[in-house]
Amino acid sequence: MFTSHIECPKCSAHYEPDQPHQLCSCGSPLLVKYDMQKVAANMHKDVVARRPPDLWRYRELLPVVNADNIVTMGEGMTPLLHLQRLGRKVGMQNLYMKDEGIIPSGSFKARGAAVGVSRAKELGVKTLAMPTNGNAGGAWALYCAKAGIEAVIVMPKDAPTIPRSECAIAGAKLYLVNGLISDAGKIVAAAIAEHQWYDASTLKEPYRIEGKKTMGLELAEQFGWTMPDVVLYPTGGGVGLIGIYKALCELKELGWVSGDLPRLVAVQATGCAPIVRAWEEGAQQSEFWNNAHTCAFGITVPKAIGDFLVLEAVYKTNGCALAVSDEDILAAESLMAKVEGAFVCPEGAACMAAAERLLAEGWIKSDERVVVLNTGCGIKYPETVECNPPLLQPGDTLNWSA
């Protein structure tokens, strides 16, 4: 047990770690704090290196007390790929992609689900509920099935449809809403108030972020316990970005990495860019974004409950926030497939589009180590690809033109 306590980043209230917690009484998300001296005494790089290639290799920096409660499908240690061909094409010598498509359920949401559900199981949760833009719902439904926890999921009817299949086959209770994730959130909140379920909404319990932060731990390990210069992250609820920031701060405290943290870039779509607007105004939190719409559905979040934590991570690392158009997102998705064979999700492609723009503006230097975080596999988004192949009959000849 390496958790020392649960802490509110807004009012500094402390909570005991062995009870279920949702938001702080002040309304803020809560964060898990560790006894870093105890972690330092028990966790060693060479031991970590010999453990299986999944996120549980960092178990001392994770909140699960009893290993029997771990609900795992082998998630984590996703590939960090040096995109040499694409880097040459766009003028970046050290362009990397961390590919979160190579994980159970095909998106980074598996990390939050693995740790969040493990901890929910440990706390004795029987039913949990959450709103989702799709991938989180699919991942939590599947991990809950394995844990024997009932999951109630509400997602926008316009969300990509494959996560519906994940929820359905996992046996979750799935509802669609004729609206956005903010509308789904209100329905879930009302149902939780009525039925006293565990609230697994983004940042309304403190453990999902602990799973997401392992992306930051892996990045550091995969770079030989050094840090890249820039990390671009597609930002909806922002938990991944907050998690990476938290991870790297913890590693600095342990002395496992040193120097400046990477400049964190919150990437949004021009059709839903509340964090970008706040950053441009130098604000500490965002305003609700009206009429949100983008092909990168996962980041269609009009107002994130953790917006102030995202902005803090961006400000403190001298990062920035940037919105890219759907047109640029789809162009980047195509480019990454044609040059690197990487079929990424639109949210991941948004980061590549943002990297190109920041390079053109001189904010990124051509020799900097730049990481594009691809949060999911493109195969969950077949509708983003146009495809009209000719139909042949048996015995036909290919009508070939090179």
Q: Is 88 in the site for a copy of itself (CB under 8 A)?
A: no
Residues 108-137 contacting a copy of itself, CB under 8 A:
127
- Of 28 and 78, CB closest to a copy of itself: 78
Within 10 Å of residue 50's Cβ, how many Cβ atoms?
A: 8
The least CB distance from residue 339 to a copy of itself, in Å, is: 7
- Of 255 and 387, CB closest to a copy of itself: 387
- Of 332 and 364, CB closest to a copy of itself: 332
For residue 398, the SS3 value is coil
Residues 185-204 contacting a copy of itself, CB under 8 A:
186-187, 190-191, 194-195
Calpha distance 41→43 (Å, rounded): 6
For residue 150, the SS3 value is strand
User: Using an 8 Å Cβ cutoff, are 268 and 322 in contact?
Assistant: yes
Which of 19, 25, 178, 196 is in the footprint of a copy of itself by CB under 8 A? Answer: 178
Helices 135-147, 162-170: axis angle to 10 degrees equals 10
How would you classify the pairing of strands 3-7 and 14-15?
A: antiparallel
Question: Which token pair is 207?
Answer: 């453990």
Q: Which residue has the tokens 């550091």?
A: 220
- Of 115 and 310, CB closest to a copy of itself: 115
The least CB distance from residue 31 to a copy of itself, in Å, is: 27
The least CB distance from residue 248 to a copy of itself, in Å, is: 22
| 370 DSSP assignment | E
- Of 362 and 389, CB closest to a copy of itself: 389
Q: Which stretch binds a copy of itself (CB under 8 A): 35-43, 71-79, 206-214, 270-278?
A: 71-79
- Of 40 and 176, CB closest to a copy of itself: 176
Q: Which stretch binds a copy of itself (CB under 8 A): 5-13, 212-220, 286-294, 329-337?
A: 329-337
Q: Which residue has the tokens 């059709």?
A: 271
Residues 133-172 contacting a copy of itself, CB under 8 A:
142-148, 150, 152, 154, 157, 161-162, 164-171
Q: Which residue has the tokens 């990297």?
A: 355
Within 10 Å of residue 67's Cβ, how many Cβ atoms?
A: 10
The least CB distance from residue 178 to a copy of itself, in Å, is: 5
- Of 41 and 67, CB closest to a copy of itself: 67
Residues 346-375 contacting a copy of itself, CB under 8 A:
none
Q: Which stretch binds a copy of itself (CB under 8 A): 248-256, 271-279, 294-302, 376-384?
A: 376-384
Q: Is 101 in the site for a copy of itself (CB under 8 A)?
A: yes
Give me the phi and psi of 98, to 5 degrees please: -95, 120
Calpha distance 307→305 (Å, rounded): 6
Which of 40, 65, 80, 331 is in the footprint of a copy of itself by CB under 8 A? Answer: 80
The least CB distance from residue 343 to a copy of itself, in Å, is: 6
DSSP per-residue letters across 235-284: -SS-HHHHHHHHHHHHHHHHTSS-SPPPEEEEEEETTB-HHHHHHHTT-S
Calpha distance 354→332 (Å, rounded): 9
- Of 120 and 320, CB closest to a copy of itself: 120
Calpha distance 337→348 (Å, rounded): 12
Q: Say how many residues make up the chain.
A: 402
How many residues of this chain bind a copy of itself (CB under 8 A)?
Answer: 86
- Of 16 and 386, CB closest to a copy of itself: 386
